[in-house]
Structure 1
Amino acid sequence: MVYSNFNKITKQWWGATHFRIGSRNQPRPNKGFKLTQLDSIGKTVEYFRWWKRLRRGNIANAINSIKNDENNIVKSGDIEKLERGEIKMPKENLSIIYKYLGINIRQKEKRRYI
């Protein structure tokens, strides 16, 4: 039987420390990210788009495929303007973007003490 060192090498690389999650100051979408950490909605969309390695055109296509409105077609330039803060998008489009990027925008409910 032939033994190889491949398993030892992969254990070193894929060990527990390799996947360690950073501190709360590093905004990551999979570990309790707060929307208040970024300045605006556009910066939030840009951050999550880069995090998931998506192009602006993919987000525009997602909005257009769900909306099915031929009069108001969203282009990648509109997403770029949103990220820069030059335009404001309707809440319908923003909710589609948030859903597509996996951003949870609901505020936590305050506890009520009775």
Structure 2
Amino acid sequence: MSAALPARRRRRGSGTTRGRRVRRRSPGVDMTGVDIVPEFIAHARSAHPGPEFELGPMAELDIPEHCVAGILARYSTIHLPPAELDRVLAGFRRLLASSGVLVVGAVAARAS
């Protein structure tokens, strides 16, 4: 995803999973990890100095609209009920620049 982002654009990672994804940032990309679990944010900050980590809901960040070049939501949306998922995806849309990239990771359920 980094290759598709212009330099000096913001990229957000939701559900930081202790910072593992955010630490792999590219030169010229300002990256921020976001999670609602205080312990994950504390771990990310101590284990991965450099990137910014914020505590809070993934799509309710206090930043200007359409200023984020990319959002990585890898497995961070799988526990949301459908109504909440719609609200979170709308929040992602509000944050993403017109040419922004959203990457969502999920698991496929097997039919029983």
Q: TM-score, normalised by structure 1?
A: 0.26
Q: TM-score, normalised by structure 2?
A: 0.27
Would you tell me which structure has more strand in proportion to its own residues? 2
Greater Cα radius of gyration, structure 1 or 2: 1
